[in-house]
Amino acid sequence: MTLYIFLTLAIISIIMALLVVLSRNPVHSVLFLILTFFTIAGQYILLNAQFLAVVHIIVYAGAIMVLFLFVLMLLNLSRDTEPQKSALWKISGAIAAGSLLVTLVGAMRGSIALQIPEAENPGVGLVENLGQVLFTDFVVPFEIAGILFLAAMVGAVLVGKRDLKL
Amino acid sequence: MLEIIRQIPIDYYVWLSTALFCIGVFGVLIRRNAIVVLMCVELMLNAVNLLLAAFSTYLSDAQGQIMVFFIMVVAAAEAAVGLGILVMIYRNTKSTDISLLDKLRN
């Protein structure tokens, strides 16, 4: 049963990711990418990483993709204004990405021998456990992430201002 | 033991993440609209996130999921700043075509 859920989600996410890349209209690309993110959130739930699944939906589908959609509609980009690369570029891109896929799969096939620990903890992805780790072992990176957000916010506002007077 | 560890080998997650990552690379290579290129970068980040979360669950180690959390933080900051830069470029050139952005050449 779990295997079937995994396979369904995986096939849907790969098809949606291909549609993101191949659809002409950028707005359609954004919508397909949101569907891809929902399937990835489904994988997180399957992995019992519930905190990650919720944060993934809130951050990606709720914030980042809305930002992308907002910018696309602000700039009024659609199928007519979409710049296209030539067929030669597309074929060479497909060959390059396919070679990367074959190389990675060939390199990793049969080389993954995972030692699953005996005393395992199924609640590793729950909020309680993750909060403990985040605020004890990773408290300095957490604070640095806050500073990074502040810097990104100031940078985005400064970049977006029309006439900057310092 | 979690149902998933018994039923699904970790290899499946590796293949899925590899496929998603390569689709992202493909998109970065063939698209010329800078916003779609940024979206493909997000797709590649998500492929890596999925793999980190899978290994974290299989090894019962929370550090992988913390790493995913930090990658999400960086991705959000990157999207905000990148889209701000793109809006500014659009104001100046009236286009988001990345092949026009070769002013630094020569």
SS3 label, residue A10 = helix
Chain B nearest-CA distance from A115, in A, is 8
**Is residue A107 one of the residues assigned to a domain?**
no
Cα four-point dihedral sign A114, B43, A151, A146 = negative
Task: Please give the residue range of the domain that contains residue B45.
Answer: 32-98
**Is residue B73 one of the residues assigned to a domain?**
yes
**Is residue B104 one of the residues assigned to a domain?**
no
- Using the 3D structure, point to which of A80, A113, A140 is the last residue of a domain: A80
- Contact between residue B19 and residue B42 where contact means Cβ atoms under 8 Å apart: no
Task: Please give the residue range of the domain that contains residue A129.
Answer: 121-166
- Using the 3D structure, point to which of A55, A80, A105 is the last residue of a domain: A80
pLDDT at A165: 66
**Is residue A1 one of the residues assigned to a domain?**
yes
Question: What are B72-106's pLDDT values in tens digits?
Answer: 999 999 999 999 988 888 888 888 888 877 777 76
Nearest to B77 among A82, A100, A152 (CB): A152
Cβ of A156 within 8 Å of Cβ of B63? The answer is: no
Cβ of B80 within 8 Å of Cβ of A153? The answer is: yes
Number of domains in chain A: 2
pLDDT at A54: 92
Cβ of B75 within 8 Å of Cβ of A48? The answer is: no
**Is residue B42 one of the residues assigned to a domain?**
yes
**Is residue B77 one of the residues assigned to a domain?**
yes
**Is residue B57 one of the residues assigned to a domain?**
yes
pLDDT at A153: 92
Residue B1 pLDDT more than 60?
no
Cβ of A122 within 8 Å of Cβ of B2? The answer is: yes
Nearest to B65 among A75, A125, A156 (CB): A125
- Using the 3D structure, point to which of A56, A80, A104 is the last residue of a domain: A80
A68, A138: one domain: no
**Is residue B46 one of the residues assigned to a domain?**
yes
**Is residue B1 one of the residues assigned to a domain?**
no
pLDDT at B48: 94
Nearest to B57 among A93, A125, A160 (CB): A125
Contacts with A104 (C-beta within 8 Å, 6 or more apart), sequence order = B18, B21, B22
pLDDT at A118: 67
Cα four-point dihedral sign A66, A71, A76, A77 = negative
Q: Best of A18, A120, A163 to disrupt the B interface by mutation (most B CBs within 10 Å)?
A: A120
Task: Tell me the CATH number at B71.
Answer: 1.10.287.3510
B33 DSSP β-pair partners: B97
A71, A7: one domain: yes
Cβ of B42 within 8 Å of Cβ of A60? The answer is: yes
ipTM reported for the complex, 2 dp: 0.90
Task: Tell me the CATH number at A12.
Answer: 1.20.120.1200
* Residues with pLDDT less than 50, chain A: none
Contacts with A38 (C-beta within 8 Å, 6 or more apart), sequence order = A57, A61
